[in-house]
Amino acid sequence: MELTYGRHAVEAMLSHDVSGEMALFFQENRKDERTLQILEQAEHHQIPIHPVSRTVLDEMTDGTRHQGFVLRCANPEPIWQPDHLPHLVDNATEPALLLILDGVQDPHNLGACLRSADGAGAHAVVSPRNRAVGLTPAVRKVASGAAESVPFIQIVNLVRTLDELRAKEVKIVGLASEADQSLYDIDLTGPIALVLGGEEKGLRRLTRENCDHLVRLPMLGATESLNVSVAAGICLYEIRRQRGMPPQKDPIPSLDPDIEDVMQKDVTSENNIPEDAVLKDDVLEDIALENVASENVIPKNDASEDDRLEDIVSGDTALEDVILEDFVLDDAISEDDVLEDVAHEDADSER
């Protein structure tokens, strides 16, 4: 049996792969909206649901952070097989973009690479079957759903796979610190297979010799190389930059949903604003306007929102008005006289 844990990973599994025997374990007494959505997904697929204590979930995952969800399933057969790779290249609606990992063994690195590949719109991530990590529970957790959305293909012979891709006019570009050419000096707009080596040794000799181009990332500091997942993200997005970003189907949140929810609750609770009564932008705008109005002794109801926003920009004008209101006692005193009196009072106080 295999375990998948973490909210995003479990949601992705229930959305993409519901074949075989499964059982969902979740932390009891949770009734938030996200939990209910996951439970509805499981019920829809007739997957047994077991509410358990957090202690049980901790034991199931050996203390790994699980966010209250564990999905147990029979060891699934890989959905993507090596013979699917040519079809992915042929059927791509744009020049193919493949990420090939030559011996990455750390689950966190593979998970992060999958996530970057998903974000950059790669058509597949390819890795050798031997001497490399596969789709373990830790990989799925770090990938945060990308392990189910990006085809992950494990192959037997990497050199043969590179030859097959080259026959389909895919340019093989390897990343190596000793390369003479920079990543930013090469045309990456056509079909590309980006090849990165493992954590310790980088690209193996045969892999390096079977690349059409070797490129390096410019390193301006003391370190000689970057983590493989960081390097993968940089390279993938340089390829995407050269090609031009396609229109996004869905807006991408600026923060992790959990963090954003906490920030929203803090803002609304501190200002006694019901969470469901206003939009986040409205809350922040009201706070800014109230601060400006109070600091400048301007009653909130005496001006429109546009006027108060203008006061933010022209704060000096607002402050000058306050000074004038304090010192103008009758119409016979000019503004210049008032300002002169202020200057004199400041001088007296300093003495």
Question: How far apart, in whole angstroms, are the C-alpha atoms of residue 2 and residue 13?
Answer: 12
Question: How far apart, in whole angstroms, are the C-alpha atoms of residue 15 and residue 138?
Answer: 19
| 217 appears as a binding residue in the annotation | yes
| 226 appears as a binding residue in the annotation | yes
| 197 appears as a binding residue in the annotation | yes
Which stretches of the chain are DSSP H helices?
7-16, 33-44, 54-60, 85-90, 107-120, 137-143, 146-149, 158-167, 205-209, 228-243, 257-270, 280-295, 305-313, 315-327, 335-350
Helices 335-350 and 315-327 pack at an angle, to 10 degrees, of 90
Residues 6 or more apart from 268 whose CB is under 8 A from it?
Answer: 274, 275, 278, 283
Q: Left if phi > 0, otherwise alpha if psi is -120 to 50, otherwise beta: which for 237?
A: alpha
Beta strand 2-5 with 69-73: parallel, antiparallel or unpaired?
A: antiparallel
Q: Using CB atoms within 10 A of its CB, is residue 10 exposed (0-12), middle (13-18) or buried (19+)?
A: buried
User: Alpha carbon 61 to chain centroid distance?
Assistant: 24
> Which strand (E) or helix (H) includes residue 24?
strand 22-27
Question: How far apart, in whole angstroms, are the C-alpha atoms of residue 147 and residue 9?
Answer: 8
- Binding-site annotation: residue ranges: 197, 217, 226
Binding residue numbers for S-adenosyl-L-methionine = 197, 217, 226
